[in-house]
């Protein structure tokens, strides 16, 4: 079996400086920054470039209202984003005109107020605004309510464009990218990475990055590493063009959206999400049950086709059971039609100028979650040459470029310019897992 690079037509090589498993924004960005340093990476994906979360995100690029541990990374990321269209020679639909989170009750407003010490600690321009200020900023918004959290220098971009642009530029600089080529195993030698086994054959290498999103735990499990990672189903949609509502990324009043330069919206039903119950949700339950109980209002639980599909995939003769690393190659995840209709209705009510808004398309994806709400980034203890970048809990799109740079630094010189201790894999074994700001 010969698989050829999606961009160059080159066959799978038998050796590489680095092998990256997962061609989402983390993998594509890392391949690009490695290639800029002259380090030749092979990027493989069981499906296709950015075929899962990375092209189905809302597209917010924000520092505000994040876990404190992520703030230094996002401060560096915000130095990258304004220059990214020029660097990648691509229109990314980048807009840096602020981010506004609205508060409709005192509890929500208090949560935003409690984040302000983080903003002050890092010298950010994020501040609370009153309902009157929100009304002045967004005159088309019906009932600004109590106010909200405002960051004038945050922004947003188009997820469908960013990861593919990183991949295209990476390939031009020498990276080899293989779609439809899943990893099937990893061989070690004396505790060090030695070979990645793929559907098209082995690749000898001394460095591997696992950036496989919601499938990362499967890869790590075969190496005896248990990552407490689960997934939820998130629905979003694209609308027709509507009159200008706001250039800022907006969240509140049961909706979240960003308006593209062409006037269309990426729109979602706030952050409430679906959990399609399977036997797999029993895995790592001790980690997830406490935060899920605390945030029960954010989740809707279902026993549905996903439940039956999970049982089917566990039958020993099924390919998903026989190839645990690959499992379900390209799952078709339906949007929640109720959430689509509700988001449209709420938008029409809150923004009367958008009375003609309609859904042009809708989609869903599996978002991988970690119980403390922050990702796992960095080296895998006990396996030299193995790195991980996964578990971004639905807010990883904005962190893609900085993750790519930090992974490149770790591979190229063994250390990164930012402290990644808070994101270490070993925090679970150490019991150093804090209460999450949000697990999605």
The one-digit pLDDT tens for each residue of the chain (440 residues) are 577 888 888 899 999 999 999 999 999 999 999 999 999 999 999 999 998 889 999 999 999 999 999 999 999 999 999 999 999 999 999 999 999 999 999 999 999 999 999 999 999 999 999 999 998 998 999 988 899 999 999 999 999 999 999 999 999 999 999 999 999 999 999 999 999 999 999 999 999 999 999 999 999 998 999 999 999 999 999 999 999 999 999 999 999 999 999 999 999 997 678 988 888 888 888 888 887 777 777 888 889 988 888 888 889 899 888 888 888 888 889 999 999 999 999 999 999 999 999 999 999 999 999 999 999 999 999 999 999 999 999 999 999 999 999 999 999 999 999 999 999 999 999 988 888 877 55
Dihedral (C-alpha) 174, 177, 183, 188: value to the nearest 10 degrees?
10
Taking residue 432's Cβ as centre, other Cβ atoms within 10 Å add up to 12
CATH architecture of 18-98+153-430: 3-Layer(bba) Sandwich (3.50)
Taking residue 4's Cβ as centre, other Cβ atoms within 10 Å add up to 15
**Per-residue pLDDT tens over the stretch 100-153:** 999 999 999 999 999 999 999 999 999 999 999 998 998 999 988 899 999 999
Strand partners, 221: none
Residue extents of the structural domains in the chain: 18-98+153-430, 99-152
Are 5 and 176 in contact by the 8 Å Cβ rule? The answer is yes
> Which letter, b or e, does each residue of 186-213 get, where b requires 16 or more Cβ atoms within 10 Å of its Cβ?
beeeeeebbbbebbbebbebbbbbbbbb
Cβ-based neighbours of 65, under 8 Å, separated by 6 or more: 101, 112, 115, 149, 437
Are 319 and 219 in contact by the 8 Å Cβ rule? The answer is no
């Amino acid at each position: 079996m010969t698989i050829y690079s999606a961009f160059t037509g080159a066959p799978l090589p038998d050796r590489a400086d680095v092998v990256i498993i997962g061609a989402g924004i983390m993998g594509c960005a890392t391949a690009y920054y490695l290639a800029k340093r002259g380090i030749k990476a092979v990027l493989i994906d069981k499906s296709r470039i950015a075929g899962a979360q990375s092209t189905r995100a809302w597209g917010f690029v924000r520092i505000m209202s994040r876990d404190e541990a992520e703030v230094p990374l996002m401060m560096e990321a915000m130095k990258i984003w304004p220059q990214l269209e020029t660097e990648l020679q691509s229109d990314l639909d980048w807009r840096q005109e602020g981010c506004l989170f609205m508060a409709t009750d005192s509890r929500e407003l208090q949560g935003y107020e409690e984040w302000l010490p983080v903003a002050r600690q890092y010298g950010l321009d994020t501040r609370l605004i009153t309902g009157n200020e929100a009304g002045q900023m967004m005159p088309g918004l019906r009932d600004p309510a109590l106010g909200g959290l405002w960051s004038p220098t945050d922004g947003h971009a188009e997820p469908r464009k960013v990861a593919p642009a990183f991949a295209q530029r990476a390939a031009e600089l020498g990276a080899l990218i293989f779609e439809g080529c899943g990893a099937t195993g990893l061989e070690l030698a004396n505790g060090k990475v030695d070979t990645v086994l793929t559907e098209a054959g082995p690749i000898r290498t001394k460095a591997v990055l696992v950036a496989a999103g919601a499938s990362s735990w499967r890869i790590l499990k075969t190496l005896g590493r248990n990552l407490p990672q689960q997934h939820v189903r998130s629905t979003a949609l694209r609308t027709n063009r509507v009159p200008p509502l706001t250039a800022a990324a907006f969240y509140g009043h049961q909706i979240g959206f960003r308006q593209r330069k062409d006037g269309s919206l990426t729109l979602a039903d706030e952050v409430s999400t679906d959990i399609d119950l399977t036997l797999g949700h029993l895995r790592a339950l001790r980690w997830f049950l406490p935060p899920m109980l605390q945030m029960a209002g954010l989740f809707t639980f279902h026993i549905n086709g996903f439940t039956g599909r999970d049982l089917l995939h566990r039958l020993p003769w099924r390919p998903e059971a026989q190839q645990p690393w690959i499992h379900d190659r390209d799952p078709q995840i339906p949007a929640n039609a109720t959430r689509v209709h509700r988001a449209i209705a709420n938008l029409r009510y809150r923004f009367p100028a958008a009375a003609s808004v309609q859904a042009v398309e809708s989609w869903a994806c599996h978002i991988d979650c970690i119980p403390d709400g922050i990702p796992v980034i960095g080296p895998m203890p006990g396996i030299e040459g193995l790195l991980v970048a996964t578990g971004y809990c639905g807010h990883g799109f904005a962190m893609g470029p900085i993750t790519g740079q930090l992974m490149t630094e770790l591979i190229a010189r063994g250390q990164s310019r930012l402290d990644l201790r808070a994101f270490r894999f070993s925090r679970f074994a150490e019991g150093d897992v804090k209460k999450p700001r949000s697990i999605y």
